[in-house]
Structure 1
């Protein structure tokens, strides 16, 4: 294919455009704005079209058209295009006229005036056909809203096989105005520093109120760095021992006071439990003594539960028979000592450290 003199004039004009307008608007100024353009085009169809009667033997020619588009952001824009084409015939006869219409997606390269373009078009020049186009162009602003642009495209047939080229020059106008930056506020005079507040110590524990995490600490307590009482933890223990008559599981009245003390201890420390361990002397059969020791532990447990209100789940009654004697020997004194129950409870107590 060959270009006519109009195409050469377009190509010659492209280098001159780079010297136009030294103060172009920035990409930020152009985004979110509508633009429109008019252009003149030099168009060169595929050389096969000149030899094809189906294409009416179309040859080089020109066109005129317009675009309307929207700059989506700094990089991307979309536009619609319509062009009226007037192409020569390779054979003798009239010129071939038709239209080209379609849409393009444009990508602007950083801060350069250059963009790349791609889209789809429909042709009625010569015959109806569709094509995909890809090209490159440049905008050269002469005013904030007005630019000269040049663009070259290749059109690759979709519905028919062909490869055309086109060169455009034109004017593009950007509607509206660039967003104005908010004015920088004038610096305000620095306010005089406020006097430092006086911080008190309401509970008089030596820690000021802004750091005190425990208000109303007793004045007698020693406190830590955040005003909370310091505690020490000690262990307390209570023991219960009760003796039984020979072959008896009846709790003697003199041991009720000790059982009450154990009950009060359990109420004071509700997280504690107690095991009542029943024992027997080594007289008679072991199985009988095991059952006897269990009856003795059950008897004391019943007193704790029924008379002093201790929850049954906190009292464990276990009979050990003769397996854990307190006194050795097979005499009356040893037997008397071993006829017993035992109970032991230990709890932890936190006590404040005084000043």
Structure 2
């Protein structure tokens, strides 16, 4: 319970800064509701404890011009006690402050309540709710709340559903703002999706500061001299022939492709990426014979190693579960050696770059000991990795 109270409190604190205030669609409401109320399991008076019960009540709420509001409520709760009390009902009265998230997604509330059970007590309330629109002036209320008793540190919870009549609606259309933050109100903005930070004219559209026909938000050379022919990025065709944003007099890589990101010297930017090639070969039962030595996967593996001559690999041999462990270990090594020798003699890989190792039945892919499992466990595996440089693309 304490964790849920903390979580709701954090949500309330974060939402205060996350959403801008907006005038609500309705200012006031009155509502009737029913609820399920669960007292703390430790709560008791005069050796009497209570089980969850049902309640009903009324509330009056109001909203300010922003996202804050408040309400007062009264509820009568019928509780089940473990003794035959003459009256098992409880009365609760209190008030809450309310914060409505943007577009009335949810509201967060917290306040003070007084409840009369066998004894009276004051509680703090905290919870989440939502007003669902049923009709123009009617809302469906749903809430979940937690209560903290100041005297005994009990924690009660409740779930509520109700019907509200909303009134006091604001007049006129919703005020509009500046969605793209360009300084031009949305009602006047003819270019509503201008990138943030771009210079715009009175209509909210990007401007062309250097008059080269390329708008500022895509112009990589914003100070091109007037009358200079430019490319699609706004850079001079006379001063920047490859249109990479670096002028020819300082460009050390004059013919950079337009798709490449470049550094301050006008040269393509590269990044290191990892590449790998894998080899997997299955064997027959009790055999180290390679059934198809001409399979294309051997050539692909060899081509990869030839492409990256500084790489090396380990051929890992494996066996299925049936049989003695020491025999399976020997058989798995024979399988690894067979593939190693094939790569050396038939595919021309330097012997120093390949080693063979047997693992027997210690690394089974499938431990079910079925025919299908034994088939996939009789195998060799090899992986070779390398790094290569790749060009970084322009945004």
Q: Tell me the TM-score range normalised by the shorter chain.
A: 0.3 to 0.5
Q: Tell me the TM-score normalised to structure 1 length.
A: 0.41
Q: Which has the higher contact order (CA 8 A, sep 6+)?
A: 1
Report the TM-score, using the length of structure 2 for normalisation: 0.37
Instruction: Select the structure of larger CA radius of gyration.
Output: 1
